[in-house]
Amino acid sequence: MSKLTDSVRSEVVRRVSNSGQSVAHRFDHIERVMQNALAIAATIEGVDYEILQLAVLLHDVEQPAGKKAEHVELSLRAAEEILKQAACPDEKASKVLRVIGEHSSEHVRTIQPSTDEAKILFDADKLDGLSAVGIARVFALFGQMDLPPLQAIEWYKQKIDIALQYIQTAEGRRLCNSRLPYVQQFLSQLESEARISEDIWSS
């Protein structure tokens, strides 16, 4: 890890630890996305690892609970400030910000990843939603927003559908396919149990 990346990491840890930040998008999420990103990057030649690592660190640096749709714009502003404070060269900062701006499923229909680093971040981020931890993140977030757990099901399924439709790399696709059955089985069981509770009032 470069001195620049280490400096940015320290500031990101500080910023995402506040109580207003989405509980699903704190530093543990960033660490898992980094692990996913490095695994995918190992299958692609010519990746700029410093650009990738900086983008991973900063992609969700400002994501308040309940403001999912705005988080890319908010994180871009914060990332620009952090990179400037860390004396990141302008050209490098511009590349990092471009990757961040292209990472979200909220905008992927109109803004798709255009570089290897952006494609890797997109996939690595979505992979963190396809796991046991990913399931826990969804329900923790809905709890933080004071919404009932069952309300999360349709939202979660839509997020998974978008992720699978737009996955960017061969390794990302392989990893998604290996994780998907567990998540689908869990959601199927949850929906089944929810229907049982509804049926007692309709009999």
CATH number of the domain bearing residue 159: 1.10.3210.50
Q: What per-residue confidence (pLDDT) applies to 1?
A: 78
The predicted model scores a pTM of 0.91
Structurally, the chain folds into a number of domains equal to: 1
All residues at 6 or more sequence positions from 178 whose CB lies less than 8 Å from its CB, including other chains: none
Helix (H, G, I), strand (E, B) or coil at 64: strand
Residues paired with residue 64 on neighbouring β-strands, in sequence order:
21
Q: What per-residue confidence (pLDDT) applies to 199?
A: 59
The Cα–Cα gap between 74 and 62 comes to 6
Q: What per-residue confidence (pLDDT) applies to 174?
A: 97
Q: What per-residue confidence (pLDDT) applies to 107?
A: 73
Torsions phi, psi for 21 (to 5 deg):
-70, 140
- Containing structural domain, residue 167: 3-199
> What is the rounded (10 degree) CA torsion for 64, 67, 69, 74?
-40
What residues of the chain score a pLDDT lower than 50? none
Q: What per-residue confidence (pLDDT) applies to 117?
A: 98
Q: What per-residue confidence (pLDDT) applies to 69?
A: 72
